[in-house]
């Protein structure tokens, strides 16, 4: 069935809204794909409040980009560059279209392909911030968290989304900086502890 012509709700495109920065209020169409779970406005607002001091000028990796809600929000709020990685061809094309619509092609790059293959290629830049929100049922946490450090800066920040009540096991060189949750999702920000701990590291926010 041609998804673009489907008469069911699953065949109609949705949208994401950029909630802050240069493109605040812009809505971007997103194909409705199986397993797609865009990060909510509320969670994004909390996350980018946490990241506000370090986001301007940062190199950002959105590893399972999906709707692009996280990576495009980062670009809107001042990231120097954003790499979106997405395996689904329809979603990858929608991300490329969104970057073109925003005239952001110089700062937002889209890589269509497998996230693990991307991580294994360690010839690219080292990222300052990584967003990792894989399909929850895919069991990708161990492989991703093993490969990811080689693509990150020594003092990188790592944002993880996982099912409510589940905290993925991270290597010892990651320190929890902030965490919060909704009924369905746990979300947390970590800092790589190859540098001295920052003030307030380990604080926890609650809903």
Instruction: Report the distance separating Cα 31 and Cα 17, nearest Å.
Output: 14
Burial class from Cβ neighbours inside 10 Å (0-12, 13-18, 19+) for residue 30 reads buried
H or E stretch covering 94: helix 89-101
The domain 34-192 belongs to what CATH superfamily? Vaccinia Virus protein VP39 (3.40.50.150)
Q: Crossing angle, helix 69-76 and helix 41-51, to 10 degrees? A: 50
Q: How far is CA 125 from the centre of its chain?
A: 17
What totals of helices (H) and strands (E) does the chain contain, helices first?
A: 5, 9
DSSP strand pairing (127-132 vs 152-163): parallel
Which segment of 65-79, 135-149, 183-197 scores lowest on mean pLDDT? 183-197
Percent of the chain past pLDDT 70, that is, above it, reads 86
Give the pLDDT confidence score for residue 136 in this predicted structure. Answer: 83
pLDDT digits (tens, 9 = 90+) for 7-20: 333 334 588 899 99
Give the pLDDT confidence score for residue 96 in this predicted structure. Answer: 96
Give the pLDDT confidence score for residue 12 in this predicted structure. Answer: 40
């Amino acid at each position: 069935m041609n998804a673009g012509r489907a008469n069911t709700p699953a065949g109609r495109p949705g949208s994401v809204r950029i909630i802050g920065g240069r493109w605040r209020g812009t809505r971007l169409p997103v194909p409705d794909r199986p397993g797609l779970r865009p990060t909510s406005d509320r969670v994004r607002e909390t996350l980018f409040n946490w990241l506000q001091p370090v986001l301007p000028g940062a190199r950002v990796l959105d590893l399972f980009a999906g709707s692009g809600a996280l990576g495009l929000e980062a670009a809107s709020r001042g990231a120097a560059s954003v790499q979106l990685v997405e395996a689904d061809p329809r979603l990858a094309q929608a991300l490329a279209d969104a970057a073109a619509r925003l005239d952001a092609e110089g700062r937002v790059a889209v890589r269509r392909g497998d996230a693990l293959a991307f991580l294994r290629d360690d010839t690219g830049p080292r990222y300052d911030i990584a967003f990792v929100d894989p399909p929850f049922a895919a069991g990708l946490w161990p492989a991703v968290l093993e490969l990811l450090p080689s693509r990150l800066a020594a003092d990188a920040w790592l944002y993880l989304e996982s099912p409510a009540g589940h905290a993925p096991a991270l290597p010892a060189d990651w320190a929890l900086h902030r965490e919060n949750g909704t009924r369905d999702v746990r979300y947390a920000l970590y800092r790589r502890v190859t540098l001295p701990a920052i003030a307030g590291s380990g604080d926890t926010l609650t809903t």
